[in-house]
Copies of this chain bind each other. A is one copy, B any other.
């Protein structure tokens, strides 16, 4: 998917919502576990059909599938196929935070961009250039690099200043600009980081940012937009638990729909404020 297509989808859907499919088998409704052969896939399918009109992207996190072994991988693959077949305009992000020496990253690129055919993959920056560039060789595919994450541990290293006062996340942004551009790279910037978005935008004014941390982790959508939105929106805001586990009864999909619609409405308002729609 191109930058332009993504922007167009955002305007058409009046939303920049990504629904995180962190579908922990221990948290999905009991009746699915009793009646379905692949309860995780059945859960995802219902969540997808309920939320697709209100979002532009899905982001399965691999951890929640890998912990179920081969069965989990099958649930994951069925989910990808279901999205591609039924909601082909939705952007699919594999949240896997991969990264290895060049020779090995090439294999991960093959796994995610050929075998699974997702649109984007989250990548960890610690190992530097050759751990990232193999992912950039695929036309229409995206690397989403960790820059400033939403968790408490992000304070341990990401804000460390070098001898010139440049913080690590800023160095990651600056350095990676030499590897790819706004057409094939995005960055993870947590919603809990408030005004640090301004510092991110100074370095990457036009890139898309993938923003986790709205909802369960406490970030504010309004603040994210104030400091992070650009003239092509430039934001994909993710909510996982806040949507998919809004309710644990037979009505789980309706509850997810309500939550997704509410976020979509708030996003529509922001898109109007910024003159994007």
Measured CB to CB, the residues of A under 8 A from B are 22, 24, 61, 63-64, 66-70, 73-74, 77, 95, 97-105, 107-108, 110-111, 114-116, 124-132, 146, 149-158, 160-163, 165, 168, 171-172, 175, 212, 217
Contact = CB atoms under 8 A, between A and B. Distances in A.
B70 A77 contact: yes
A127 B146 contact: yes
B162 A161 contact: yes
Scoring A153, A160, A161 by chain B CB atoms within 10 A of each residue's CB, the highest score goes to A153
A63 B158 contact: no
A148 to B, nearest CB: 10
Number of copies: 2
Scoring A107, A128, A132, A163 by chain B CB atoms within 10 A of each residue's CB, the highest score goes to A107
Contact of A63 (B100, B132, B151): B100
Contact of A162 (B97, B110, B151, B163): B163
Given A63-B107, A124-B124, A125-B126, A160 B157 contact: no
A153 B129 contact: yes
18 contacts: A63-B100, A63-B108, A64-B107, A67-B107, A67-B110, A69-B77, A69-B115, A69-B116, A70-B73, A70-B77, A124-B126, A125-B157, A126-B146, A126-B157, A127-B146, A131-B153, A157-B171, A168-B168
